[in-house]
Structure 1
Amino acid sequence: MSDKPPSGQPGQPPLEPGVPQPAAGPSVCPRHPDREAYVRCQRCGRPACPECQRPAAVGIQCVDCVRDAARTTPSAHTVFGGRATDGTPVVTYTIIAVCAVVYLLQRADPSITDEFAFVPKRGWTEPYRFVTAAFLHSPAIIFHILLNMFALWSLGQYLEPMLGRARFAALYLISGIGGQVGVVLLAATPSTIEVLTHQPLAWNNGVVGASGAIFGLFGALLVLNRHLGRSSAAMYAMIAINAAFGFLYPGISWQAHLGGFVTGVICAGAIVVFRRQGVRHLVWAAFGAVLVLLVVVTVAKYLTVPENIRDLTIFG
């Protein structure tokens, strides 16, 4: 007489001694007791109806085991600590789509540009403009949005898979805000007389465009490539060409370019410092610190402006 313990159903591990042999035929799915299950999970051995079955490397697993494995399996990360993706720059495409839709709305309704563009004189009472201006473009010059979206498309395909989607989106938004902060900081503080006499001042000029955020991506790319030991020679030429537009063509804000670039460099530095496992979560604290710094320097600048100008009490 054999000492071998009785076997379970075909394809299953042998049962422990003393465990009754299950009856042949279908069992009942524990998640759906009203359904018969002819297949058992290769991981836990429980019956699984067709709705609860998930293909595995070998055989079939139930949805509960698949969920447990997803929770316990460490997720892959990029070289800079972001969550690895399939390489598709989803955030980049989303930003481009949003900018394109907003541009069409601007063409249809010019008041949208006036309402959401960044104007230093309105930043104190309407701070939402620090964000919204990065998604607007000049409705009269299609070249403006085309150039910016081409630059974003080129940079996003490289940076987004490298950083992960969340870090890339944060870098873009913070750099966009930094661009508007650069406009405020570099605008000469106006006097009441200058405003009342409608003198041309940077304080009164509206700013639109993703250029500040894109220059932030430029700055981040230089920092990250340097850390990786990769050449950025071609990028220097592109940055120089884009920067030249701010000085050679009227109406283009070089201040926003500079503000976004510096902000992007700082954010990229934080990404490099906190790239390793165990401290990579601190990059979000660093991003928060950058935002706080931007708010502090902006408030400090506005406090140097006469109160009646800052609060729009003399503007019609």
Structure 2
Amino acid sequence: MRHFSLDDEPLGEKNIYISPVTTPTSTVDEEKCLVRIPLRDARLHTKDVWKYIVQNLPYFMLVISLAEAIIYFECNADIRKLLRFDPDKKYEIWRYLTYMLLHEDVVHLTLNLFLQCTFAFFLETKQGRLKVAILYLAGGVTGVLGASCINPGILIGASAGVYSLLISLVADLYLNYENIKYKAYRGICISVLVLSDITFNLYHFWSREEPVISWEAHLFGGLTGLILGLALYENTKGLQQERKNICLTFSSLLYFLIFTTLVIITIDSGASKCANKMNS
């Protein structure tokens, strides 16, 4: 047993002391047998919470969100035209990423900023900032490629990247199913968000309301989140390593095949359009 002096109290801790040998007939000096039981200071607990939050803030996503907000409120029409995805300017490579910085209105902007920061916070604490950034950007690029191949049109918004993060939660849930608390509630939340978005998209499609929502970008962004999530995300005491290696190999090949196919179709359609313009 370790002995403590009453004056030997660690700074910042509140303690109570008991003596395990105290009895009505005890003759032992009680102070020499005191056992310290620390009571955490509420101020230290609050400090730990803030430290956890600061360490796990999604800094990459916060910077991206800030840039999106600044561009929405400060940029003029000429800059927006330079940044948006235009199917007639497919060879201007920057447009496949910069279109994500633009939004139609305040509701569109606010919803995307809230969702991408929320998803990034929960994912980065487990999977790391780099992997989440890769999924967000890859979802945006693959989403616009898919939209340009199926239904070419001017495209703006970060929804494909947001959807990539959302559906990547399914990959995280699968890889770490045995280790996740409240897995049923998490699955329900993901399902509700996906079904709500699908319902919203179908409503706009049937009612033909403006602005038109690109379901193609959402679809390919979500596929990217699922496929790359299975390839990149870590499993902590979840799947056996052999099964994880199978997920990594199969998912990587599948994404490479999808991405390469979309790029080839995009280049081919762009070349055909240029040839038609020259002939005319």
TM-score class normalised by the smaller sequence: 0.5 to 0.7
**Where in structure 2 are the equivalents of 1:1-316 lying within 5 Å?**
86-106=55-75, 109-123=76-90, 125-138=91-104, 141-187=105-151, 203=152, 205-229=153-177, 230-231=183-184, 232-249=187-204, 250=209, 251-272=212-233, 293=257, 295-302=259-266, 304-305=268-269, 307-310=271-274, 313=277
For 1:306 and 1:98, locate their aligned partners in 2 and report how far apart those are by CA, in whole Å: 30
Deviation sequence 1:179-228 (CA, Å, 0-9, x none): 111202322xxxxxxxxxxxxxxx2x211001000110111001101222
The size of the alignment, in residue pairs, is 209
Letter in structure 2 aligned against 1:119: D
Segments of 5+ residues of structure 1 without an aligned counterpart are 1-84, 188-202
Distance 1:91 1:257, change over 3 A: same
Relative to the length of structure 1, the TM-score reads 0.57
For 1:99 and 1:147, locate their aligned partners in 2 and report how far apart those are by CA, in whole Å: 12
Relative to the length of structure 2, the TM-score reads 0.64
For 2:157 and 2:96, locate their aligned partners in 1 and report how far apart those are by CA, in whole Å: 11
Q: By how many angstroms is 1:295 displaced?
A: 5.0
For 1:137 and 1:119, locate their aligned partners in 2 and report how far apart those are by CA, in whole Å: 15
Question: What is the aligned partner in structure 2 of residue 73 from structure 1?
Answer: none
Question: What is the aligned partner in structure 1 of residue 34 from structure 2?
Answer: none
Contact 1:89 1:156 in 2 (8 A): yes
Deviation sequence 1:54-98 (CA, Å, 0-9, x none): xxxxxxxxxxxxxxxxxxxxxxxxxxxxxxx93222122112111
Q: By how many angstroms is 1:307 displaced?
A: 3.5
Question: What is the CA RMSD across the aligned residues, in angstroms?
Answer: 3.4
For 1:287 and 1:135, locate their aligned partners in 2 and report how far apart those are by CA, in whole Å: 28
Contact 2:139 2:160 in 1 (8 A): yes
Contact 1:118 1:129 in 2 (8 A): yes
Distance 1:273 1:154, change over 3 A: closer
For 1:113 and 1:220, locate their aligned partners in 2 and report how far apart those are by CA, in whole Å: 29
Letter in structure 1 aligned against 2:117: W
Partner SS state of residue 209, structure 1:
coil
For 2:160 and 2:256, locate their aligned partners in 1 and report how far apart those are by CA, in whole Å: 18
Q: By how many angstroms is 1:291 displaced?
A: 7.5
Greater fraction helix: 2
Q: By how many angstroms is 1:247 displaced?
A: 2.9
Letter in structure 2 aligned against 1:242: D
For 1:285 and 1:269, locate their aligned partners in 2 and report how far apart those are by CA, in whole Å: 10
Q: By how many angstroms is 1:302 displaced?
A: 3.0
Q: By how many angstroms is 1:156 displaced?
A: 1.5
Letter in structure 2 aligned against 1:224: D
Distance 1:214 1:310, change over 3 A: farther
Partner SS state of residue 127, structure 1:
coil
Could you list the structure 1 runs, at least 4 aligned residues long, displaced by more than 3 angstroms after superposition. Answer: 272-276, 283-295, 310-314
The percentage of aligned residue pairs carrying the same residue is 22
Contact 2:228 2:255 in 1 (8 A): no
Partner SS state of residue 55, structure 2:
coil
Partner SS state of residue 137, structure 1:
coil
For 1:114 and 1:312, locate their aligned partners in 2 and report how far apart those are by CA, in whole Å: 24
Distance 1:89 1:299, change over 3 A: closer
Contact 1:245 1:252 in 2 (8 A): no
Letter in structure 1 aligned against 2:123: L
Partner SS state of residue 305, structure 1:
helix
